[in-house]
Amino acid sequence: MTGSKRPARTSSWICASRWVAFPQKALDRSSPHDLLHCHRKNAMKTIRENGRSPGLAACVAPEDLNCDEYVAILNVVREFPSFMWCCDSSSVPPDEPVRIQFRAPDTGTPLKIKAICLPFVFVKSPSGIAQTLDVRQTQFVRLNSDYAAAVWKELK
């Protein structure tokens, strides 16, 4: 095929709910920020009366926990003996427990970390109840300080 021109390579990116094809040469010269700007520029934004953006709870690894910070329990893992697992006992070895993840009943309630000795974390609730939690069975999220302070004050 001498004399015929190959079509230029293109890549597609989503931009404001429609697909846009960019020539590969343009992508090679552009930064990721330029491509994201296309999406951000036309994205729908929520405007709040107080001018603040909403907080976001982020999952935190056990080694990143610190004393005197606010966390909440997101998920709890419970273990059951495999002989109690009637769904499919052939796929689970008899000596291995079945682990099931549950949403915590008090998800979102701030807990203040008082002491850490991994895998255990000693926390205090707004009502003054102290408890020791095992990080192997508990998934924590770090709370926004504004949210944690407001909820802590109301639940105290």
| Structural domain boundaries, residue 29 | 10-41
The model's pTM is 0.62
Are residues 20 and 68 part of one domain? no
Contacts of 8 (CB under 8 A, 6+ apart): 23, 24, 25
Query: How many structural domains compose the chain?
Result: 2
In a domain, 94, yes or no: yes
- 62 shares its domain with 135: yes
Paired with 13 in beta bridges are 20
| 62 CA to centre of own chain | 14
Tens of pLDDT, residue by residue over 50-89, are 666 677 888 999 999 999 999 999 999 998 887 776 666 5
Model confidence pLDDT, tens digit, residues 90-139: 677 777 888 899 998 888 899 999 999 999 999 999 999 999 999 999 99
- Domain annotation covers residue 71: yes
Question: Do residues 76 and 143 both lie within one domain?
Answer: yes
Strands (E), the chain: 10-15, 18-23, 58-60, 70-80, 98-103, 111-117, 120-124, 130-134, 138-142
74 found inside a domain: yes
